[in-house]
A and B are shown apart, each in its own frame.
Chain A
Amino acid sequence: MKRWDTRLFLIIATAALAGGIFSTGLNAYYQSLAFSLLLYIGLAVSWNLLAGFTGYLSFGHTAFFAAGAYAAAIAGRGVPPLAVIVAGGIGALVLSVAFVFPLIRLRGMYFAIGSLGISEVCRVLALEFAPITGGATGHPIVSGVEKQMGLLILTILVFLLATLSGILGSSRLGKQMIAIREDEDAAESVGIATLRLKLLALCSSAFATGSLGVMYGWWLTYADVSDLFSISRLVTYVAGTVLGGLGTLTGPVVGSLILGLIAESAWVRFPFLHQLATGLTIILVVVFLPRGVIGAIAQVIVQRASSRSRSKSQSRWTDGSIQRTDALSAAPKGLTDQSRTEVE
């Protein structure tokens, strides 16, 4: 997480905060648009906490999201909103520790397919436990939270989440997580507690996703299995994160804002074409723009800066291994690839 990334991120997060608060005064259509966009941004930031920082691509986040919505459904009217949000987060956290954590010892693709399976299992279990979830017919959610209020809470929640992720990005902890992403064995060998950090990333990611699920439940006032576990929402924020730049702070926000806007405006008229286009977006970005939009811009900025003051930047990268990973990811693409293949 480069310094300019953090700065840009804080500006965008503040803009989102202002935009969210502003939109509470607009009519119902814009409120609902703002809600969807903020939800996508929040989910992308939460997903990035695990996938972007530690490199563990989880496709099980639909289950965490659903856990939050069901927490809202169970809580009903009497419980104070803050308690429900926390409960939703804890519900998702329990789910993540019980199901996904055993898988986190697995690397790469094994973890990816395992987590995809987790969401499938949770979906089937949600259909089976009809007393709690309402089964296939669903469960109405009553809450004392009005739509306007819900939007305001979501805005604040997303801002808090973004701030936390920004702090994490520039902290020692965050850099240790990035070291796991870059090379887990090397990270472990220099004394980074990889398992503990992966657990931390997973828990915070799950907690955030669960609390966002609560907000969604309040907004929709209905918990439906096929909607909550729908892969298309996951796809939108995963694609958004990838488009913006996986592992950057700003990337998930910008990418999911773009895709969220497209999803909410243009694709309403072409509902069946939407999924195809999102899938193609992921394919094309992965193949032709591997660092995402923000990553590509970053590369240009860093290259220019390093050619301007090579001697200064060299002394900055020599004190410690964490900065070295930064330097490695900031290095021109050809150079990084070469050094990686040499290591292999």
Chain B
Amino acid sequence: MDYVQAGVSGLLLGGIYALVAAGLALYFGSLRLINLAHGEMVMMGSYVGFALFSEYGLSPLWTVVLIVPVGFAVGYLSYVLLLQRARKQSEAALILLTFGMAVALSGLARWIWGPTPRTVNVISNSIPLMSLNVSSVRLLAFAIGILLTISLQWMLQHTSLGKTIRGTAQNYQLAQACGIDVEGVYAVTFGIGAALAVAGGVLIGMLFSVDPEVGSSWTFRAFAIVAAGGLGNIGASALVGLGLGLTEGVSNLVVGSRLTELIAFIILVAVLLWRPKGAWR
């Protein structure tokens, strides 16, 4: 029964994994950009959720609503001001730039909030579900995570913006020839990815404590999920995210939390070595 309990709570966590990975999948599929700062964006989301909760008593649920436009604006601007220039130079410049962004964001959090872990003390009820106990906060975070992931998928499939993003990802030269402002689409894509990352961060902040070092583990997780799920394939990534959450939940019980951290990495390396250019080819 313990395993089922752990599995269910891991699966609920997987909903947030899916959301965090969806952001990365989106701009990785479109821009071929591995953003080493993705996890740090998640971390900033958690911190903002914490700050608004502890200063103004604002519920993290409202913070999610507030932070999405802010995350979008920051992502959009950082693409226009920084990433776009580095992309024109070389791939190495882009890697170093996102690495620098990761370091700077982590440093910013350290400067503002200090190195000690911070926690949002939201009241969590335990909901009995058949013979299991499910934390209400976790269930809520799962629901929001899945909801946002699904709405992203819907946006990509059914709106003209989504079609533009997909078209540009498929063939940017052709998109350019059709009169699409490719760089503008890239900026929007990156903005959406950043918005999803910080939104995921707020949800994660409801469940776990956050410290300035936590970012890189989210980068790995997101990238492992995206690599295993397929390029830009948000649906498949979401399933892999749920699967990873489930696996981690159970393995937490079996081998302990420290070795569980390695699972995402093992998936990542296995995919990279098995299909060096990614599992999607």
Contacts and interface: CB of A to CB of B under 8 A. Distances in A.
Interface of A: 55, 57, 59, 102-103, 105-106, 108-110, 112-114, 116-117, 120-121, 124, 127-128, 231, 235, 238-239, 242, 246, 272-283, 286-287, 290, 337
Contacts of B4: none
Contact of A108 (B91, B108, B220): B91
Nearest to A226: B213
A243 to B, nearest CB: 11
A278 B96 CA distance: 12
Contacts of A112: 34, 36, 95, 99
Give the residue among A55, A103, A290 with the most B Cβ atoms within 10 A. A290
B183 interface: no
A276 B108 CA distance: 5
B100 A283 contact: yes
Contact of B99 (A114, A246, A282): A282
Given A109-B34, A112-B95, A283-B82, A128 B103 contact: no
Interface centre among A114, A117, A120, A290, by most chain B C-beta atoms within 10 angstroms, is A117
Contacts of B99: 57, 59, 112, 238, 282
A281 B91 CA distance: 19
Given A102-B273, A105-B276, A114-B272, A280 B265 contact: no
A163 to B, nearest CB: 26
B254 to A, nearest CB: 15
Nearest to A105: B276
Interface in B22-51: 33-34, 36
A276 B107 contact: yes
A128 B256 CA distance: 11
A124 B100 contact: no
B97 A274 contact: no
Contact of A113 (B36, B107, B259): B36
Interface string B95-116: 1110111111111101100110
15 contacts: A109-B94, A110-B34, A113-B34, A114-B268, A124-B261, A124-B262, A231-B216, A239-B103, A242-B96, A276-B107, A276-B108, A283-B101, A286-B86, A286-B96, A286-B100
A116 B39 CA distance: 13
Contacts of B81: 287
B85 interface: yes
B92 interface: yes
Contacts of B265: 117, 120-121
A272 B114 contact: yes
B223 interface: yes
Contact of B111 (A120, A242, A276): A276
B104 A276 contact: yes
A110 B269 CA distance: 10
